[in-house]
C-alpha cells in the first residue's frame, strides 16, 4: 500500500457506539445499517432486509445493498483519515448480485485493498444469516483536502 501517513487520525478512534450515533438521521439509519466491528483494514456492518430495503417483488433491493457497501467503505476510510483536514467520498461503487434474500439480516464485511494518499479501495462481501454470499461490491473512496 502507498504511504498515506498524512491522512492518519490525529484524534482517538471513536467507539462503535459513537460511530453509529454519528449516522443518526441519515440514509444509514433509515436503512437500519449498524457498524458492528472495526479495525484498520477491516469493517463489518449489518442491515435488515425489511420494508425499507426490499424492492417491490419482495427481495433485497440492489440499491440498498450498494448503499450498505458504500457506507461500510466510507466509514472505514473516515476512521483512518484526519477529518479535520480531509473529506472522504465514495466515487465508484460496482457490485455483482449473485443471490437473493427476502428477510433477515445481511452482513457486509469490508476489506481495505489499497490505501493511497488520495484514494482508498475496498472490497465488500454481503452475506445473509446463513453465510450465503448475496453480493460482492468494490468501492473506491476519494480522500479530498478541505478548502
What is the pLDDT, as a whole number, of residue 106?
A: 98
pLDDT at 48 over 90: yes
Residue 131 φ/ψ region, left for φ over 0, alpha for ψ in the -120 to 50 degree band, beta for the rest: left
34 carries an active-site annotation: no
Q: 18, 34, 51, 70: which is the annotated catalytic residue?
A: 70
What is the pLDDT, as a whole number, of residue 12?
A: 61
What is the pLDDT, as a whole number, of residue 122?
A: 98
Q: Which residues contact 21 (CB under 8 A, 6 or more apart)?
A: none
pLDDT at 78 over 60: yes
Report the CATH architecture of 5-145.
Roll (3.10)
Name 46's bridge partners: 34, 107
**Predicted TM-score (pTM) of this structure:** 0.89
pLDDT at 72 over 50: yes
| Average pLDDT, integer, range 139-145 | 98
Question: Comparing C-alpha atoms, which of 49, 78, 72, 79 is closest to residue 123?
Answer: 72
Amino acid at each position: 500500500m502507498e504511504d498515506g501517513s498524512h491522512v492518519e487520525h490525529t484524534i482517538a478512534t471513536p467507539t462503535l457506539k459513537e460511530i453509529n450515533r454519528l449516522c443518526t438521521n441519515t440514509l444509514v439509519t433509515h436503512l437500519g445499517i449498524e457498524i458492528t466491528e472495526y479495525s484498520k483494514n477491516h469493517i463489518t456492518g449489518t442491515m435488515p432486509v425489511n420494508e425499507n430495503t426490499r424492492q417491490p417483488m419482495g427481495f433485497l433491493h440492489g440499491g440498498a445493498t450498494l448503499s450498505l457497501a458504500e457506507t461500510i467503505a466510507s466509514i472505514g476510510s473516515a476512521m483512518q483519515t484526519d477529518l479535520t483536514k480531509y473529506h472522504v467520498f465514495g466515487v465508484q461503487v460496482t457490485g455483482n448480485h449473485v443471490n437473493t434474500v427476502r428477510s433477515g439480516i445481511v452482513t457486509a464485511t469490508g476489506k481495505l485493498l489499497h490505501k493511497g494518499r488520495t484514494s482508498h479501495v475496498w472490497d465488500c462481501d454481503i452475506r445473509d444469516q446463513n453465510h450465503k454470499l448475496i453480493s460482492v461490491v468494490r468501492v473506491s473512496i476519494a480522500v479530498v483536502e478541505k478548502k
